[in-house]
Amino acid sequence: MTDRSSRPVIERWGAPLNLATTAVLAMHDRGQGAQEMRRFTQRVAEPRAAYFAPVAPEGLWFPGALTDPIEANQPDLDDALEMVEAALTQVTRSGFAPARTVMLGFGQGASVLAHHIVAARFAYAGAVLLAGGYLGPRGTMAPAEGRWDGRPVFLGLAEADPEVPMHRAEETADALWLRGADVELRVYPGTEHAINEDQTVATRRLLARVRGDLAA
């Protein structure tokens, strides 16, 4: 997917770093770019969040389906996970530890973040995974390492999303619940692969909750 020698593109917006309570790593869907995540976060309107958004080359994080064999989505998946690490390095250098960082993704971006999260040995401040789940064929088990200790996770998708099988959203929710996260999986009627107003409100509430927890 990428030339590994090239410098990753990571866009930044939101609260000034010296005023931000929370960093948000925001990843876009297939066929999109950071501008779609920027527009979404403008609707969320969390005033104390600083956003860091990796940009997928040619708007694609991986070429196949979510439940294809992992090898079928390589080397693109590894490249996407490296982009996550590059963004997290920038987040850390900007003064935000994982405990002050929320993972936010839609579609393919949510799936890459879910894949990263379920393999991480540590927790983040929270996560919003919209129409996504970790990659791999049905029956792929997520590692059970790392504790989330009540930190919030929201997953939302249409019941017949054409890109995300319900069983994978459920498996992703279960994996994080087993680690102690406060998980909510919200399912909407229909087939639309999109971010709706209810998901926008849920994202706003989660970010406000994280801000409040950090201020406590």
26, 103 contact by CB (below 8 A): no
d(CA 171, CA 141): 8
pLDDT digits (tens, 9 = 90+) for 62-80: 999 999 999 999 999 999 9
d(CA 26, CA 49): 11
Cα maximum dimension of the chain: 45
When pLDDT is averaged across residues 22-47 and rounded to a whole number, the result is 97
pLDDT digits (tens, 9 = 90+) for 119-139: 898 899 999 999 999 999 988
pLDDT the model gives residue 57: 87
Strands (E) in the chain, as ranges, are: 10-14, 22-27, 49-54, 101-106, 126-130, 152-158, 182-188
Q: What does pLDDT average to over the chain?
A: 94
d(CA 46, CA 15): 9
Please check the confidence at residue 182 and state whether its pLDDT lies above 60.
yes
* Overall fold of domain 10-215: Rossmann fold (3.40.50)
**Interstrand relation of 10-14 and 49-54 (parallel, antiparallel or unpaired):** antiparallel
Binned at pLDDT 50, 70 and 90, residue 6 comes out as low
113 is written with which tokens? Answer: 């973040």
**Interstrand relation of 126-130 and 101-106 (parallel, antiparallel or unpaired):** parallel
d(CA 55, CA 71): 22
Q: What's the whole-model pTM score? A: 0.95
Q: How many contiguous H segments (helices) and E segments (strands) does the chain have?
A: 5, 7
d(CA 104, CA 132): 11
pLDDT the model gives residue 48: 96
> Domain residues of the chain, as ranges?
10-215
Amino acid at position 129, single letter: L
When pLDDT is averaged across residues 175-204 and rounded to a whole number, the result is 96
